[in-house]
Amino acid sequence: MKPSRNRNSGGDALPSAPELPAHGWSTDETLARLEALRRDDVRWKDGRVFSLAYFATPDAHDLATEAYRRFSGENALNVDAFPSLRVMQSDVLAIVARWLAAPASARGFFSSGGTESILMALKAARDQFRHDKTRPNVVLPASAHAAFEKAGAYFGIEMRRVPVRDDWRADALAMRAAADDQTVMFVASAPQYPQGVVDPVADIAALALERGVNCHVDACMGGVTLPYLERLGVSLPSWNFVVDGVTSISVDLHKFGYTAKGASVIMYRTGELRSHQAFVTDNWLGGFYGSSGVLGTKSGGPIAAAWAVLHHLGDDGYLRVTREARDTAMAIAAHVRAHPQLTLRAEPDATLVCIGAAPDTTLDIFAVADTLAARGWYVDRQQPPPSIHLTVNAVHADTYREFLCDLDAAVAEVAARAAKGEAGAYGTLE
């Protein structure tokens, strides 16, 4: 299946659709139609998808689904009405705080995903410095996630992108040169998504300390994985609250935490820093209104699913699935490293693998992605430079050997035909 390339801005007419049925469908018919609709969806539970979805074990997935079902109607907008959600959120935040080596002063919020966590970190920085920085900017490497651009567009913050070093890591010296008296934040990633390497967080946080501003670490991909990789003996640069100057960290639980979609955490070093994220008002006829993030109404489903899966997998379970993902990623990396027509864009620091065509070949890596798609594999396509990207997680331990066989066959087929492919899209407007 090729990725959607629809970049429609919304100007086209809506496609024709059936009207609401005159007589409601039965439960069985409705569910049957739902199953029919997803007939062509990617087979992520089968380990044939290296993007968008994460799968630890069937039991963990089933538990997340059941916990989500039981609490899907509860509303975390007001946990006075649903104290169970207050307890679950508090427990999840405490677990994540330990993964991040957070101090006792740290405080966080549960959010709907990495994008919301990043948006809120930037909104908090803007508001924190609003009295003396009226034209706020954020200095970040070119590799930082697209959600930072979204935050800038939403909140009127200038994004100052700086080229990365030859090893794809952030260039702290160039970031220093890009900052000025209106800078409110520096950004590092652990790891960054495109090439899967960890930025020099200590060097970037030192810049924030020099200017007395914030340093956010986007650990949406690594916040769960990196603590366990360190315990497994993988050498990594310091990246969490151990680093002086780091003021906030985002961590996605619906990625390598293997919880249901809609689960992320934004953690701040202090409660005072967190206070700038919140929104409160009584300027309407309904009384006091407080909200921690973009969402008002928040289903209890993602919260309950996260709480359930974290306690189900436990410390030993996360160590196990992290080892499986890391071993698989390194096996794939070794195969690519030895392939005459492929190259690793970077040595993986965690479990993200970025693959390009070897520099002395004319191989079109996007045509390789097309051929893999025809064989039932879904991989991300990204540029620059043209690459295919694998988000390797626990489910791939059972399928990566088949994938590597198909990868070799795809490369041979594309090379023989001199085929050309197209770049896909990381996200769509539909």
Per-residue pLDDT reduced to its tens digit, 15-72: 566 789 999 999 999 999 999 999 989 989 999 999 999 999 999 999 999 999 999 9
- What superfamily would CATH give domain 314-417? Aspartate Aminotransferase, domain 1 (3.90.1150.10)
Q: Say yes or no to pLDDT of 152 above 80.
A: yes
By the 8 A CB rule, do 42 and 378 touch? yes
pTM to 2 decimal places: 0.93
Q: Where in the chain is the domain with CATH 3.40.640.10?
A: 64-310
At residue 106, what is the residue type? A
Q: Say yes or no to pLDDT of 80 above 90.
A: yes
Give per-residue pLDDT as tens, 187-242. 999 999 999 999 999 999 999 999 999 999 999 999 999 999 999 999 999 999 99
pLDDT given at position 316? 98
Q: Say yes or no to pLDDT of 14 above 80.
A: no
pLDDT given at position 11? 55
At 186, the pLDDT band (50, 70, 90 cuts) reads very high
Q: Say yes or no to pLDDT of 2 above 60.
A: no
Q: Say yes or no to pLDDT of 248 above 60.
A: yes
At 419, the pLDDT band (50, 70, 90 cuts) reads confident
Give per-residue pLDDT as tens, 112-137. 999 999 999 999 999 999 999 999 99
According to DSSP, residue 16 is labeled P
- Give me the CATH code for the 64-310 domain, please: 3.40.640.10
- What is the Cα Rg of the chain in Å? 22
Q: Say yes or no to pLDDT of 324 above 50.
A: yes
Name, in order, each residue with C-beta under 8 angstroms of 66's C-beta and a sequence gap of 6 or more: 308
Q: Where does 32-157 show beta strands of DSSP type E?
A: 107-111, 137-141
What is the C-alpha separation between 371 and 365, in angstroms, rounded? 10
